[in-house]
A and B are shown apart, each in its own frame.
Chain A
């Protein structure tokens, strides 16, 4: 079975630009979560999608938005980039019913975003 794949692996943007990050979930998984991991920090929860609907959101502004597609792949969009958005963005997929905190997350290797 394939794992979670993310693209691109690295990218550089300038302040004010917009970025789209993509994630293909593991086969059989219907839930996708996005995390931001700043340098030297633990992952911070951005939001989660279950069956194409947002299913929880962390403390991130509306310029962070997402989508989940019928095949359960997902996109993270960030508008009006700021310097502090520089981080590793991790996508994780899981299976089972929604709102089950015991579900194990399978992580991708991440997309490293640098904002200049």
Chain B
């Protein structure tokens, strides 16, 4: 069975500072991993996905994530936060059956 744990339900960073959102996964098979973002009153939008190619994955809006098998982690980073990055971020894992399991989410706050 697959599961995802996101550390920190709320994260605050200053505008221009590094963004780091943490995600650890559990999977009985090599996983596919995703980060989605949800803006208020909207559905989820894919930021990036890992499908067993390069371990460093680059996504949209300057985000990237690194797959570390030894640490079962897939943390999301962005070098410099922008006010428009304020949203809820979800890490998700999938095996081979297209059933995607989401974490509880991390709300990112950007301080001016």
Interface residues of A (CB under 8 A from B): 4, 31, 33, 35, 40-45, 48, 55-56, 58, 90, 92, 94, 98-105, 107-110
**B: contact size bracket:** 20 to 34
Instruction: Say how far A17's CB is from chain B's closest CB, in angstroms.
Output: 25
B99/A43 in contact, CB under 8 A: no
Smallest CB-CB separation from A109: which chain B residue? Answer: B43
Contact A102 B97, CB 8 Å, known A42-B90, A90-B44, A109-B42:
no
Bound-state CA distance A41–B44 (Å) is 13
| Complex interface: chain A residues within 8 A of B100 (CB) | 33, 45, 101, 105
- Cβ A99 vs Cβ B43 within 8 A: no
**CB closest residue in chain B, given A58:** B99
* B interface list, Cβ under 8 A from A: 9, 31-32, 34, 36, 41-46, 49, 51, 90, 92, 94-105
Interface pair A99/B101, CB less than 8 Å apart: no
Contact assessment for A103 and B98 in the assembled complex, using a CB-CB cutoff below 8 Å: yes
**Do B44 and A94 have beta carbons less than 8 Å apart?**
no
Looking at A33, A58, A107, the one whose CB has the most chain B CB atoms below 10 A away is: A107
Residue of A nearest to B41 (CB): A109
A101-B32 contact in complex given A31-B98, A48-B98, C-beta closer than 8 Å: yes
Q: Which residues of A contact B94 (CB under 8 A)?
A: 101-102
Q: CA–CA, A41 to B104, complex, Å?
A: 5
Contacts of B104 in A (CB 8 A): 40-42
Contacts of B31 in A (CB 8 A): 101
Contact of A56 among B32, B49, B97 (CB under 8 A): B97
Q: Which of B41, B44, B103 has the most CB of A within 10 A?
A: B44
